Amino acid sequence: MKTILVSVLITSAFMAAESVSLKADEATPDSLVHALNGVFGEHMVRAVHAKGTVLKGTFIAAAGAERLSEAPHLQSGSEVPVIVRFSDFAGVPTIPDNDGLASPRGMAIKFKLPDGTDTDIVAHSFNGFPVATADEFQQLLIALANSKPDTPKPTPLDKFLGGHPIAKAFLTAPKPMPESYATLPYFGVNSFKFTNKSGTETFGRYEIIPGAGEHFFSDKEAKSKSANYLIDEIAQRVKTQPVVFSLVVQKSAAGDKIADPSIAWPASRPTVLLGTIRLTESLGGDASNSKLFFMPNAVPAGIEPADPMIDARAGAYAVSVAHRMK
């Protein structure tokens, strides 16, 4: 199977010369979006996860979820509407669903709270992130954009990955093609602080577990799938049955790096069930939902960002939203 690394190198060979003007300065929202465009091109849509489809449904809080947080949607039995967008990884809106560059997949959730506000979760289908900070992420993007197939060795990407083994593992790890957006687990790789009504604080990361189980195609099967097979499949699936996920929080333990999303915590860490997501209707693709966006730092009382990258991501998302709203 073609890895993300190989796919990005092929894609970057077709990028405009703007990529060479990028500089590895301190990351800002504008510079992060510029760096993403340097890799994927400027399509005036989302800078990353540019191709997606949207569903709606409900979230029902599990009994005892309020012991973790006082957030209104996490009180036992609470039921709120949700809007969910599933997406392919790359910042290319026409990428085929069975392209290696389309992984990891994204799942973004918008909870519609009783007071009229929203809270969002932005997750992807790989447990971890290539780097620890926004500055390093920008450096990685610049290295990718400036490493074309004919670039002399060692390329900027070779040099970067030589000093960042976790990024190399992320880029080259096998990511098999899912049978459905509904048969993938998703991970919120950044940490949050959850506080309940008694003031008890817990640090943790979101995990989203598919009720249908995890199911993937072989490489041979994946090659035969259509360019929009994931979008088409989930639209048909939700017509016949709800698409169900369990939302949990993986709790940190002593020694875990709260502010480093590149380090996945051991699977042995305890989890807390927050509730069940039930998606019951397709709202169509991005053309029908052009004003929809998600902010990872949009949180209610009882939930706080515990990783600086969360605010950095949100800043870049805001710039990307502004670009595509022009």
∠ CA 278-284-287, nearest 5°, is: 140
For position 205, which CATH number holds? 2.40.180.10
Task: Tell me the residue length of the chain.
Answer: 326
Spatial distance between the Cα atoms of 27 and 23, rounded to a whole number of angstroms: 10
Q: Clarify whether 49 is annotated catalytic.
A: yes
∠ CA 44-50-55, nearest 5°, is: 125
Nearest by Cα to 62 from 209, 226, 238, 214:
209
Q: What is the pTM (predicted TM-score) of this model?
A: 0.92
Which pLDDT tens digit goes with each residue over 194-208? 999 999 999 999 999
Helices 29-40 and 4-12, packing angle to 10 deg: 90
Domain holding 222, by residue range, is 4-324
Which pLDDT tens digit goes with each residue over 38-90? 999 999 899 999 999 999 999 999 999 999 999 999 999 999 999 999 999 99
Active-site annotation holder among 34, 49, 73, 164: 49
Which pLDDT tens digit goes with each residue over 146-174? 999 999 999 999 999 999 999 999 999 98
Spatial distance between the Cα atoms of 143 and 266, rounded to a whole number of angstroms: 30
Residue 100 gets which letter from DSSP?
G
Spatial distance between the Cα atoms of 89 and 229, rounded to a whole number of angstroms: 15
DSSP strands (E only) in the chain: 52-61, 79-87, 106-112, 118-124, 186-187, 192-195, 201-210, 243-251, 271-285, 303-305
Count of structural domains, the chain: 1
